Every structure is written in C-alpha cells, then in structure tokens.
Amino acid sequence: MFNLVLFGPPGSGKGTQSENIVNTYNLQHISTGDLLRDEVSRHTPLGTEAKKYMDQGLLVPDEVVIGMISGKIDDTPDARGFVFDGFPRTRPQAEALDKLLEFKQTQIHLVLALDVPEPELVKRLLGRGATSGRSDDNEEIIAKRIKEYHSKTQPVADYYNEHGKLENIVGDHSIPDTFKTLTKHINKYLLPVT
Ligand code: B4P
C-alpha cells in the first residue's frame, strides 16, 4: 500500500492534482473538503455544524474531520493506497492519521507540498469562486483562509519534515507541468497504471 498526502495552502491545486494522481496510479482519493461539502449539501447534522466554519473561512474542528476519515479508509480495505487531499490540516490531525494508519499496519509514505505565492492563490480562488458556488469566493474570506493556513496548517509541514517525508514542489507552473513534477516523486514508490 502507498499513502500520499497532498499538502498546500487554499487554492494551491490539491484537488486539481489529486484527480490526476488517483487516475494515473489507481489510488483512492480522500478529500476532506469534498466530504464536508457533501455533508453540507445533504443537510446532515455534521454538515450543518461544518458549514458554520467553512462559510467563515475557518477550519472545521479536528474531531469532526478525524471521525470522517476513519470510516472512509475502512470503506475500501483492498485499496492500492490513498491520496489524502486537504487532510491533515492541523498537527493533531496529522498525529491522529499516523495512529490510524499504524493500527491498519501501514503509514504515510510521502508528503508533497505545493508552494504557490499568495497573489496567485487569491487570483485562483476568486476565479474558482466565480463559477463553483463555493463560499470562499471573496477577498475577505480568502484572506481569513490564508491566515488560518499559516497559523494552524503550516505546522503540519514541519511535522512531516521532522519525519523525513516532506518534498516541496513549485506549484505555480501549468497544471500539466506541476503534475509532471509530482509524478517524478511518486514514481520512486509506485509505477503508473495508465
Ligand atoms: P478544500 O476543499 O480542501 O480546498 P482548497 O484548499 O480551497 O483548494 P485546493 O488546494 O484543492 O485548490 P483547487 O485544486 O480547487 O477546502 C475547503 C474548506 O473545507 C476549508 O476552508 C475548510 O473549512 C474545510 N476543510 C477541508 N479539509 C479540512 C480539514 N482537514 N480540517 C478542517 N477543515 C477542513 O485549485 C484552485 C483553483 O486553481 C481551481 O480553480 C483550479 O482550476 C486552479 N488551478 C489549480 N492548479 C492551477 C495551476 N497550476 N495553474 C492555474 N490554475 C490552477
């Protein structure tokens, strides 16, 4: 089994690149953003709680997100591996994921961190907001998300760096060029199936 974390600030392209990666390597995609948006659209109690945070550009509480992930991993016991997209986003989430995977006798093998300058992030998120109907479609919420990223999520990169698993990737090249760079790192662990 091969498990990858795709890491980066809001709008760095985690969702975009995850799609390409799971198709190329036949991995399971776990996006906490997608899972939360699904809960919101179905008006579940979890979704109603999560929406309060998401609409303000804040992270959803750790216990909510960690509970969701555990069930999702159990759904596909025969997976070739997982791409964790947008998770972990806090150090407690990273520690919980390590414990969960250890219990399942596996681990995170590689963390690829997309590095994109802030003005480009804002531009992309405004562009996505114009068509997606997502709540982070204005500069005030985007600024809050980036602040939240620096205070709570950036320490996750330090955590994986301490464990020798982090690779930094230039993320402001074109989508295909960025993908090519990502595959160079993944190919050291796993061969493409397509
Ligand atoms: P997410 O759904 O994870 O998404 P994101 O960070 O906004 O964007 P991503 O990096 O995936 O960028 P994308 O590919 O779309 O988070 C949403 C919210 O959910 C969070 O704010 C939080 O409240 C909550 N949440 C999620 N996970 C959580 C957790 N673990 N704990 C707590 N809360 C959690 O790319 C953005 C745009 O750029 C797109 O339009 C794309 O087409 C474009 N783009 C991508 N790559 C490009 C490139 N190379 N060049 C030009 N454009 C590019």
In whole angstroms, give the CA distance from residue 87 to residue 132.
21
Ligand 1 atom nearest 61 alpha carbon? 32
pLDDT tens, residue by residue, 113-154: 999 999 999 999 999 998 888 888 899 999 999 999 999 999
What spacing in Å lies between the alpha carbon of 16 and ligand 1's midpoint?
8
Provide the residue ranges of all domains of the chain, joining segments of one domain with +.
Answer: 2-186
42 is catalytic: no
In which band, very low, low, confident or very high, does the pLDDT at 5 lie, cut at 50, 70 and 90?
A: very high
Q: What's the pLDDT score for residue 87?
A: 97
The yes/no answer on whether domain 2-186 falls in CATH 3.40.50.300 is yes
What spacing in Å lies between the alpha carbon of 10 and ligand 1's midpoint?
5
pLDDT tens, residue by residue, 29-38: 999 999 999 9
Q: What's the pLDDT score for residue 137?
A: 83
pLDDT tens, residue by residue, 48-58: 999 999 999 99
Q: What's the pLDDT score for residue 85?
A: 98
Ligand 1 atom nearest 173 alpha carbon? 49
Read off φ and ψ for residue 107, nearest 5 degrees.
-160, 170
In which band, very low, low, confident or very high, does the pLDDT at 24 lie, cut at 50, 70 and 90?
A: very high
